[in-house]
Structure 1
C-alpha cells in the first residue's frame, strides 16, 4: 500500500494520523489490522490509487487536452500534488497533480451531458468539444468580475 493510499484512508477516517511529520505517516497498528481485514480492501486500495493527468486521460480513453479541459471546468480537482524530479537535480523538479482512480472513474457518470464516445474519438489536431465549454466558463467568470 502506497503512502498516497494511506493518506486517502486517513482522510476517509479509516486510519488516524499519529505523526506530526508531513513527510510520513504513523498510524495505529490496530486500525491497520482492522483495515486489512476488510473484505473490500482490494477495491478500497484500487479506488484510492493515484493517477497523474496523463494516466487519468488514458484511463478515460481521452486525449490529455480533454482531461485538462475537465480540470478547467472544475469537474475534477487534484487530491494532492507530488514533486517529481528528473535526474538528480532539484532544478528539474515539477509539481504534478494527483487524482484518485475513483474520482477519475466517476467523471462519465457525473457528466452524462457529454457524448463520451464522441469525446473519445476526437482525432489528433482536432479541437476538443470541451473547449467551447471552457471558453464559456471563462467568459462568465470575466463578466462576473466586471
Structure 2
C-alpha cells in the first residue's frame, strides 16, 4: 500500500475527495452505500473512497430542513392537532437526531438537516406521539399545551416538585424582544407524566373559576 492509499480520511475529507456534500457521505455510510471505515474508526483510506460510486452517493441524498421536517411530523399528528398535543418544532428535530431516531446530515446540532426518507418513516409510525414524548424536550409553550394550561400559568403555578426542567437553552429573540433569554426545557416524558396526574386539569379549572369570580 502506498503512502497515498494509507492516508485516513474522515467524513469531511471523504466528502471533499468525492466533491459531494458532507450529508451525502454521512447518509451513504449509514445505509451501506459506501464500505465501512477501513483505516481507523470513522476513517476511510483514500483507495476505498476513490472506489466509491460518486454519482450514487450524490443521488441518494434527499435532504430536508429541520423546519420542514417538524412541519411534516406535526401534520402526521393530526389536523387539527389532538387535544394536549403541541406542534413539533425545528429544535425537536435536533432532539430526535441525538436520540438516534433521525440521522443528522449537516447543519446545527439543534436544527439539523435530515433525510426525507427517515422523516417519512416517522410520519407513518402509529406510536409517533409516544416517540416524541420519549425522545424530545418541550419548551414552555409546548409544555403548557401538553398540560392544558395557559403559558403564563405554567410560569406562575406549576410546582417544581411536579415538573423539573431537564436543562436550559439560550434563545435569541432579537434586541426588540429582549435579546438572549434562558428558557427552561422539559423532558417530554416528564410533561406527559405530569399531565397524567390530573394536577394540570384541576389547576386549570381552579384558575378558570378564579378568573370568572372576578369578572
TM-score (norm 2): 0.38
Consecutive unaligned residues in structure 1, runs of 5 or more: 127-146
Superposed displacement of residue 36, structure 1: 1.6
1:35–1:41 contact (8 Å) kept in structure 2: no
Q: RMSD of the alignment, in Å?
A: 4.0
User: For the residues of structure 2 that align with 1:7 and 1:118, how far apart are their CA atoms?
Assistant: 33
Closer/same/farther in 2, CA of residues 17 and 80 from structure 1, 3 Å limit: farther
Superposed displacement of residue 53, structure 1: 1.9
Which residue of structure 2 aligns with residue 43 of structure 1?
128
Superposed displacement of residue 118, structure 1: 3.1
User: For the residues of structure 2 that align with 1:16 and 1:108, how far apart are their CA atoms?
Assistant: 30
Moved over 6 A (4+): none
User: For the residues of structure 2 that align with 1:34 and 1:51, how far apart are their CA atoms?
Assistant: 22
User: For the residues of structure 2 that align with 1:7 and 1:104, how far apart are their CA atoms?
Assistant: 19
Instruction: Tell which structure's C-alpha radius of gyration is larger.
Output: 2
Deviation per residue, 1:96-126 (Å, 9 max, x gap): 22346554233233xx4x65543222337x7
Deviation per residue, 1:81-104 (Å, 9 max, x gap): 241314458x63212223465542
**Higher relative contact order (CA closer than 8 Å, sequence separation 6+):** 1
Consecutive unaligned residues in structure 2, runs of 5 or more: 1-68, 71-89, 211-215
TM-score (norm 1): 0.50
